[in-house]
Chain A
Amino acid sequence: MFSTIRSRLILIGILIAGSIYFLFPRNATLRERGANGVMRDTVVTRVPLKRGLDLQGGMHLALELDQSKQVSADPKRDLDLALTVLRKRIDEFGVEEPLVQKVGDSRIVVELAGITDPARAKAIVQRSAFLEFKITDETQALEKALPAMDRTLRSLGIKGEGAPTQPSAVQQLLGGDSAKKAAPKGSKDTARTKPADSAAADTTPVSGGILGGLIQPGSGTPGEYMVPETAFPRVDSLLNISAVSRQLPRGIVLRWSAASTSVGVQPVRYLYALDDRSIVTGANLVDAQAQIDPLTSGPIVTFELDRAGGRKFGEETGKHVGDYMAILLDGRVQGRPPVIQSRIGRNGQITLAGRTLQEAQDLALTLKAGALPIPLKIVEERQVGASLGEDSINKGITAGLVGTVLVTLIMIGYYRLSGVVAVVSLAVYLLFTLGALSMIGATLTLPGLAGIVLSIGLTVDNNVLIFERMREELLHGKSVRLAMDEGFQHAMNAIVDSNVCMVLTALFLFQFGTGPVKGFAVTLILGIVASMITSIFVTRTFFMIWLQRRPAMSTLSI
């Protein structure tokens, strides 16, 4: 089909033009979040060959559903849901060309190139962002249940290990009760000093039991309790014992506050008894914005509910005017529960005391993207700093250049003019390979570069096979033209067989390999194909041209 030099040159021209087209620098739009928190688009011009995380720095995460606390009814559906949620969140996060992909049946891979704050990115990916609104308990359910809980613990043989000496719950009961009737604002001051004072004053050993000694009612908010921060993990684990949590009346749940608060000198953690029923959840949320509260100049997140959610919220808050409402994010109460002043409609706000605006922005974006159906756990994490990536590239380029110079010297030194032909076709090969990689949108990683180096070696080998064959034919006394034809023909078998075997191996690498190995396989496969095209077709065309210009050539510079 391509017997004439002309048609061959046209095809080579098309391939070269195509490669250059795919490698030509073009505009790419980047979405980034500016310093003011607003997303903005920037346009950059660059070569469309993507660099992998190991070359430009970035983070790779593999995530699975974390079913240790919550068992998924339909893992496949939940994973798909999580995937869409993560996509939305990461788009909002503003990373250049992020990758969020399902791998296999149970894993999601997230790749974020060039990020500078990996901890923040991890938090955004992992946060469930499940928003709930619950009314705090007003029946003193926990106080009533505490003696029973402690009895249960005693019967289980769990004793307080030198438990901090605190006033017993019974003693505090009255105080908590009276405070409850007071206005929330006024009660705060008394609440702040009271526990610390009484803790200092009352040093007698507690007979009430472990939990009774550690959990004390908080300030005026009904259903609010305080636990010293140091005892928080222990109390949490004790409350998680099912025999203990069973002592609570049905319909009441216990939830911790998101952060510890200082009350007097002692950091405490608030514990809330809440109505299990959520009056509305984040599923009804349509928008969330981070803002600075003009009054407190602290960050807040304002949100808007959809119509159905707004109606429900309005009804419920209308019924509970004067009660306190806890805002829960991922099962942790955010801030102190505010009192419901009046019926609330579609709009509300979450106050984030002591947090930065960036945290508020991250919260807003995770809320807007929706909640994860099941929390995710990180099963694999790789992170490469940008400087290391740059270093790798520079070293890879140095190694590549030195290797290329060495190969060029060897080829030209050994095969002279034919060696020059081989080196030129090697350059064409490189162009083809890079063009093809760019065309399929492949990502260039360090092992990928190794694959290219390896296929350079194979391209050289193909040329060597052809040239050696031509030399043999010349030694047999054949004319230059015949030697050339037969050299190509005979070398063809060996080239095809060896290259096909290589491609087969590489295909299995691609199929069963992961991450870096896959990158290696892709460049190797493309490299081998490009190498076969150049050595069988391009090199031959060069020789045909050579022969055409010197038809009377009796010796070949080979």
Chain B
Amino acid sequence: MLRFFTNAKYDFIGLRSYAYGLTALILIPGLIFLLIKGLNYSIEFTGGTLLQVQSSKPVDVAVLRQGLDREGIHGAEIQKFGAENEYVIRARVAKPGSDANDTQATALAVGHALDNVLGAGSYAVVRTEAVGPKVGAELRQRAFLAIFLSFFAVLAYLAYRFEWRFGLAAIGATAHDILATIAFIGVMQVEVSLTVVAAVLSMVGYSLNDTIIIFDRVRENLHKHKYESFEQILNRSVNETLPRSILTHGTTLATLLALTIFGGEVIRPFALVMFFGVFVGTFSSIYIASPLLMAIEKRWPGPAARGHLAPKPPASPTRKPQPVGSAGGAAEPALSKAKGQRGR
């Protein structure tokens, strides 16, 4: 059978200080950049007017801009969108207090400008969006509310299924993922649209999924290997789930790659953000969630069960802290018997 990393025994947790350094190296410049440049919100969030135009022949962006200036629309963003003759024109609402009807007026004015520059009938408006500033602010609020509340729900669920320490560590890792992803969005100047928010949220789900699968192993190993230290248990769990991680992330990245390449302009930001999110999520499940769990465990020691037997016999004759795969035949009957009794 084809296997990857089945008998892996990497010292993931031991390398955590390097991992922290790497995270800091990514996060700090990213967040500073974000503070300086800010996020590039789409008009869904800021309010404004967007028109996607397909002209019969390519037109210079500067010419389009002149036409818009003549209609009194200054500072509009004009972007080539995919094909050579497709443009996206964004005119944001200037004052936050201005009326939603202004966005309608803007759309009309843009239409005028296009008639003048391209000639009526030689272009087609394939998409328009006009969002009042009030709606934009509301959308932003709701998106943040959704993330925030889902945090609590996840915390509560993990506290119920595992215990609160695991929940807290998972939330910490997820918060890290969100920060890193937002920094990525900022640095890459990806436009923050609703689709991108959806990507961030599914990335959160994905990373959480990954963390939980490792934690599930930790929970199991805590019962199984009572003579190991907490650090050993964490390392063992990460190593044991490594083949699964590689394969799952591999297939996910493959689908996301397909989406990025073939999905078209509209879905590309989603795929791009998810692509990054899968990397960050995998990294944080191993290097943020697990060490965080360890730190929380040190600060607020958990119930007696966890690793307290570890210092007693460092080299137990019955069970060695060996990778599962190489455990050999001798210990097997006892192991499987124990499992059979515990069966859920």
- Which A residues contact B (CB, under 8 angstroms)? 54, 62, 64, 68, 118, 377-385, 387-388, 391-392, 395-396, 398-400, 402-403, 406-407, 410-411, 413-414, 416, 446-447, 449-451, 453-454, 456-458, 460-461, 464-465, 468, 471-472, 475-478, 482, 486, 489-490, 492-494, 497-502, 504-509, 511-517, 520, 524, 558
Q: What does the 1/0 interface line of B112-148 toward A look like (CB < 8 Å)?
A: 0000000000001111111110110001001101110
Q: Beyond A380-B129, A392-B264, A507-B153: 6 further Cβ-contacts under 8 Å?
A: A382-B128, A451-B202, A468-B241, A476-B335, A505-B204, A512-B143
13 sampled A-B residue pairs with Cβ under 8 A = A379-B100, A385-B127, A402-B258, A406-B251, A414-B247, A450-B202, A457-B248, A460-B251, A493-B220, A497-B161, A497-B213, A499-B209, A507-B153
Cβ distance B105 to chain A, nearest Cβ, rounded Å: 11
Which residues of B lie under 8 Å from residue A382 when comparing CB positions?
A: 127-130
Cβ distance A464 to chain B, nearest Cβ, rounded Å: 5
Q: How far is the CA of A476 from the CA of B125 in the complex (A)?
A: 64
The residues in B between 247 and 264 inclusive whose CB is less than 8 angstroms from any CB of A are: 247-248, 250-252, 254-255, 257-259, 261-264
Per CB-CB distance, the 10 closest pairs between chain A and chain B, nearest first, are A395-B264, A385-B126, A403-B255, A403-B258, A512-B146, A399-B262, A508-B150, A402-B258, A406-B254, A379-B132
Which residues of A lie under 8 Å from residue B126 when comparing CB positions?
A: 384-385, 387-388
Give the contact stretch, choosing among B26-34, B62-70, B325-333.
B325-333
Which residues of B lie under 8 Å from residue A64 when comparing CB positions?
A: 100
Which residues of B lie under 8 Å from residue A460 when comparing CB positions?
A: 248, 251-252
Given A379-B100, A505-B154, A410-B139 contact (CB < 8 Å): no
- Which B residues contact A (CB, under 8 angstroms)? 1-3, 6, 52, 99-101, 103-104, 107, 124-132, 134-135, 139, 142-143, 145-147, 149-150, 153-154, 157-158, 161, 194-195, 197-199, 201-202, 204-206, 208-210, 212-213, 216-217, 220, 240-241, 243-244, 247-248, 250-252, 254-255, 257-259, 261-264, 266-267, 270, 274, 324-325, 327, 329, 332, 335-336, 339, 343-344
Point out the residue from B208, B255, B332 that lies within 8 Å of A477, measured CB to CB.
B332
Which residues of A lie under 8 Å from residue B52 when comparing CB positions?
A: 388
The reply to whether B194 and A410 contact each other, CB–CB distance below 8 Å, is no
Q: How far is the CA of A453 from the CA of B198 in the complex (A)?
A: 13
Which residues of A lie under 8 Å from residue B124 when comparing CB positions?
A: 385, 387
Given A380-B135, A457-B251, A476-B324, A508-B146 contact (CB < 8 Å): yes
Which residues of B lie under 8 Å from residue A507 when comparing CB positions?
A: 150, 153
Given A476-B336, A489-B343, A505-B150, A381-B244 contact (CB < 8 Å): no
Q: How far is the CA of A530 from the CA of B241 in the complex (A)?
A: 24
Q: How many residue pairs bridge A and B at CB < 8 Å?
A: 249
Q: How far is the CA of A413 from the CA of B3 in the complex (A)?
A: 11
Given A453-B259, A512-B146, A377-B100 contact (CB < 8 Å): yes
The reply to whether B1 and A498 contact each other, CB–CB distance below 8 Å, is no
- In the complex, the chain A residue whose C-beta lies closest to that of B145 is A512
Cβ distance A515 to chain B, nearest Cβ, rounded Å: 7
Which residues of A lie under 8 Å from residue B201 when comparing CB positions?
A: 505, 509, 517
Q: How far is the CA of A407 from the CA of B250 in the complex (A)?
A: 9
Main secondary structure of the interface of B (DSSP, over half): helix
- In the complex, the chain A residue whose C-beta lies closest to that of B263 is A399
Point out the residue from B154, B197, B220, B261 that lies within 8 Å of A517, measured CB to CB.
B197
The reply to whether B1 and A558 contact each other, CB–CB distance below 8 Å, is yes
The reply to whether B154 and A504 contact each other, CB–CB distance below 8 Å, is yes
Which residues of B lie under 8 Å from residue A449 when comparing CB positions?
A: 267
The reply to whether A413 and B132 contact each other, CB–CB distance below 8 Å, is no
Cβ distance A29 to chain B, nearest Cβ, rounded Å: 29
The reply to whether A504 and B146 contact each other, CB–CB distance below 8 Å, is no
Cβ distance A468 to chain B, nearest Cβ, rounded Å: 5
Cβ distance A463 to chain B, nearest Cβ, rounded Å: 9
The reply to whether B244 and A509 contact each other, CB–CB distance below 8 Å, is no
Q: How far is the CA of A445 from the CA of B212 in the complex (A)?
A: 30
- In the complex, the chain B residue whose C-beta lies closest to that of A402 is B258
The reply to whether A468 and B194 contact each other, CB–CB distance below 8 Å, is no
The reply to whether B202 and A501 contact each other, CB–CB distance below 8 Å, is no
Q: How far is the CA of A416 from the CA of B3 in the complex (A)?
A: 12
- In the complex, the chain B residue whose C-beta lies closest to that of A556 is B1
The reply to whether B254 and A407 contact each other, CB–CB distance below 8 Å, is yes
The reply to whether B258 and A406 contact each other, CB–CB distance below 8 Å, is yes
The reply to whether A378 and B209 contact each other, CB–CB distance below 8 Å, is no
The reply to whether B143 and A517 contact each other, CB–CB distance below 8 Å, is yes
Point out the residue from A381, A499, A558 that lies within 8 Å of B129, measured CB to CB.
A381
Given A385-B125, A502-B205, A472-B240 contact (CB < 8 Å): yes
Cβ distance A550 to chain B, nearest Cβ, rounded Å: 17
Cβ distance B129 to chain A, nearest Cβ, rounded Å: 5
Cβ distance B300 to chain A, nearest Cβ, rounded Å: 22
The reply to whether B263 and A395 contact each other, CB–CB distance below 8 Å, is yes
The reply to whether A493 and B216 contact each other, CB–CB distance below 8 Å, is yes
Q: How far is the CA of A378 from the CA of B42 in the complex (A)?
A: 19
Given A385-B127, A388-B52, A403-B255, A524-B202 contact (CB < 8 Å): yes
Q: How far is the CA of A517 from the CA of B220 in the complex (A)?
A: 36
The reply to whether A502 and B104 contact each other, CB–CB distance below 8 Å, is no
Which residues of A lie under 8 Å from residue B154 when comparing CB positions?
A: 501, 504-505
- In the complex, the chain A residue whose C-beta lies closest to that of B193 is A516
Q: How far is the CA of A457 from the CA of B259 in the complex (A)?
A: 13
Which residues of B lie under 8 Å from residue A398 when comparing CB positions?
A: 262
Which residues of B lie under 8 Å from residue A384 when comparing CB positions?
A: 126-127
Point out the residue from A402, A492, A524 that lies within 8 Å of B262, measured CB to CB.
A402
The reply to whether B208 and A413 contact each other, CB–CB distance below 8 Å, is no
The reply to whether A54 and B266 contact each other, CB–CB distance below 8 Å, is yes
Point out the residue from A392, A400, A502 that lies within 8 Å of B208, measured CB to CB.
A502
Which residues of B lie under 8 Å from residue A468 when comparing CB positions?
A: 241, 243-244, 247
Which residues of A lie under 8 Å from residue B195 when comparing CB positions?
A: 446-447, 450, 516
